[in-house]
Amino acid sequence: MYESEQVWRDVDRYFVDMLVAEDRALAAARRSSAETTMPQTEVAANQGKLLALLVGMVGARRVLEFGTLAGYSTIWLARAVGRGGTVTTLEREVQNAAVARRNLERAGVADRVEVIVGPAQESAEQLIRVGADPFDLVFIDADKPNNLAYLRATMELTRPGAVIVIDNVVRNGAVLAEDSADPRVHGVRTVMAEIAADDRLDATTLQTVGLKGWDGFTLAHRLG
């Protein structure tokens, strides 16, 4: 019983009920993920809360997100940066960006979020070209094959002190498949190797179980 996915879900629900207030705007954003190209891939409520806590703990004012989808995590981030803060979020699909903008309006944070539509790598390169002010926290949660490109762009768009979170790095243990033909696994393994080799970055990865099954995230601190 204690190893079943049903128990993982029930435990998530218990802690979410105890500690994580998901208001109507967040609940609506979660439901609307069904209207996106990737239903139900938004973060769980307790993971959204973790992002918000990190923003608060480091006092992040400028947040960058790779992968908007319906804007569920974007709402958590945008609320956490507060009125003076901003979130820039990159979304490839026009349809998803439209869903996200409605959700951000409903949540009352549309004025502090910029949704940039297009391939995230191109959008990030454009931010680098125009000399965007450095971001304090970056959440990488877009197409997994491009994780390495997103990390490299992140290093151009941040300064020492920045916090970087990378979602979905475990995927039911698929990460162990060294010679995997799956470009998503390759995307995780190459970004891990880059982090390990870059002495500007200090990092750890935690596995998670819960409403989203068995997965995990990497948390990195830019030191230099």
Least Cβ distance, residue 172 to ligand DHB (angstroms)? 11
CA distances from 94 to 16, 85, 91, 107, 112 (A): 31, 25, 8, 20, 19
Report helix, strand or coil for 182: coil
What angle (nearest 5°) sits at the alpha carbon of residue 34, between those of residues 32 and 39? Answer: 120
Query: Which of ligand DHB, Mg ion, none lies near 190, with the C-beta cut-off 5 to 8 A by kind?
Result: none
Which of 168, 188, 201, 210: binder of ligand DHB (CB under 6 A)?
168
Among 11, 13, 35, 41, binds ligand DHB (CB under 6 A): 41
Q: Which does 12 bind (CB under 5 to 8 A by kind): Mg ion, ligand DHB, none?
A: none
* CB-nearest residue to ligand DHB: 41
**What residues have CB less than 8 Å from 216, skipping those under 6 apart?**
168, 169, 170, 205, 206, 207, 208
Question: Which of 168, 218 has the CB closer to ligand DHB?
Answer: 168
Does an H or E element contain 23, and which?
A: none
The residue of the chain with the least Cβ separation from Mg ion equals 167
Q: Is 12 in the site for ligand DHB (CB under 6 A)?
A: no
**Which amino acid is present at 30?**
R
Contact between 65 and ligand DHB by CB under 6 A: the answer reads: no
Residue 216: phi and psi, rounded to 5, are 180, 170
Which residues in 121-160 contact ligand DHB (CB under 6 A)? 141
Contacting residues toward ligand DHB, per CB under 6 A: 41, 141, 167-168
